[in-house]
A = this chain, B = another copy of it.
Amino acid sequence: MIINIVRQRRIISLICSLQYGYKQLGSVIRSSNRRSTTSNRFWSTPLLGLSLGFWNASSNNDYRYNDDYHFMAEPISEELNSDSTDWKGKKLPMKYQFELFCMQVQSEFCRQLQSMEEKYTDEIDDSRVKQFQVDRWKRAEGGGGITCILQDGTVFEKAGVNISVVHGMLPPPAIEQMRSRGKSLPSDRPLPFLAAGVSSVIHPRNPNIPTIHFNFRYFEVKTNDETGESQWWFGGGVDVTPYILNENMIKDFHRKLKSACDRHDTNYYPRFKKWCDDYFFVKHRQERRGIGGLFFDDLDQPNQSKLFRFVTDVAHTISPYYTSVVDREARSPYSYADREWQLIRRGRYVEFNLIYDRGTKFGLMTPGARYESILMSLPLTARWEYQHSVPEGSKESQLLEVLRNPKEWV
């Protein structure tokens, strides 16, 4: 059920303008991409532009907007695609705001990665530069997603940026899992739910560039069908997994995250930094998957719009940071040993994702899940050596040291 979409409805643009009061720029048709090749390379298809100012909304009210945004495909929710839905004068529900935000993040990040791939691929024939493959899929049980993957490229061995918007009935084991996290949900029946999110894992080829992962999600569970009463929360985070320790690169990352957090609540950074260190823990090896970042879940205080602004602010730091790292390191030299070490670390990455990661488990257990999208987080190649050991004092052992004992980087 993969559908490649070629049009973007003006209505979204209108909605966003109405909602946020930005100027509506209408249908600016642009093609940011040089190539127009096969039909499954949606990236290269010109789309109508949109103004989605809220994506750049920061808490200091210094709003900006992008006047030439295209999505990778049509939004998932019918309501956002339908001309007949009349949003005029109505407040756009958070689930739709969040879906549009996810699409925006996906689009911006894919575009940046694609431009890096083009910049660092020495090809005379442009058409041979690897492109993002875009798959828009539907879930029989409700909802769907858009999966964008660039694989086996020059800079990126595997780069995946997914959005999914799924709804349906929450199965009892999932409810039980949420109750065990402190949610007060009735446990006697399946509950209607909606989950929207964007998630990304980028495995670069050069071991000097860390793997990056981020995810932002919004959850709604209807607890009372009659009154329409529901619970909602935000979750997400961003973290990096370096192969070669570069302290400046890590400090810069944490500094940017802290500054995004501090604009909203000065407790956020220390709390979510620790949460991240605790979460990405490969228990059997007693080491972390990477050098951390932020992780948060179940956020429902102080209110929806403030939390949404916080989430968008964090998301907004990622692409510029990562693009600058890639730009600096894409051609930096590395040894055969560096590459081997990278593949071994990728094996640990796989271990975390398949054994411990809650998102992967939840994904694979959800009826009608699209496993290809869930497992896009796995690297193109990984390696497991029995009793691999690193020489004392080596750069590998320096990395292991911070994976075993997380540091304060800011």
Whether the Cβ atoms of B378 and A347 lie closer than 8 Å is: yes
Whether the Cβ atoms of B381 and A383 lie closer than 8 Å is: yes
Indicate if A202 sits at the interface (CB-CB under 8 A).
no
Closest chain B CB from A170 CB (angstroms): 19
Which residues of B are found within 8 Å of A375, using beta-carbon distances? 351, 384
One of B343, B355, B371 near A364 (C-beta < 8 A) = B355
Indicate if A151 sits at the interface (CB-CB under 8 A).
yes
Indicate if A387 sits at the interface (CB-CB under 8 A).
yes
What is the 8 Å Cβ interface bit string for chain A, positions 139-177, against chain B (1 contact, 0 not)?
000000000010110000010100000000000000000
CA distance A283 to B365 in the complex (A): 10
Indicate if A372 sits at the interface (CB-CB under 8 A).
yes
**A284 with B158, Cβ < 8 A, contacts A350-B354, A354-B354, A355-B364 known:** no
Indicate if A336 sits at the interface (CB-CB under 8 A).
no
Which residues of B are found within 8 Å of A18, using beta-carbon distances? none
Chain A contact patch, size range: 20 to 34
Residue in chain B with minimal CB distance to A373: B386
Closest chain B CB from A35 CB (angstroms): 20
Which residues of B are found within 8 Å of A133, using beta-carbon distances? 386-387
Whether the Cβ atoms of B355 and A284 lie closer than 8 Å is: no
Which residues of B are found within 8 Å of A383, using beta-carbon distances? 380-382
CA distance A160 to B379 in the complex (A): 24
Residue in chain B with minimal CB distance to A381: B383
Scan residues 351-408 of chain A and give those whose CB is less than 8 A from a CB of chain B.
Answer: 351, 354-355, 364, 369, 371-372, 374-376, 378-387
Whether the Cβ atoms of A160 and B386 lie closer than 8 Å is: yes
Residue in chain B with minimal CB distance to A353: B354
Scan residues 176-231 of chain A and give those whose CB is less than 8 A from a CB of chain B.
Answer: none
Indicate if A90 sits at the interface (CB-CB under 8 A).
no
Indicate if A34 sits at the interface (CB-CB under 8 A).
no
CA distance A374 to B135 in the complex (A): 37
Whether the Cβ atoms of A387 and B364 lie closer than 8 Å is: no
Indicate if A285 sits at the interface (CB-CB under 8 A).
yes
- Tell me the A residues contacting B by CB distance below 8 Å: 133, 135, 149, 151-152, 158, 160, 283-285, 343, 347, 350-351, 354-355, 364, 369, 371-372, 374-376, 378-387
Listed from nearest, the 4 A-B pairs whose CB atoms lie closest are A354-B354, A378-B384, A284-B371, A149-B386
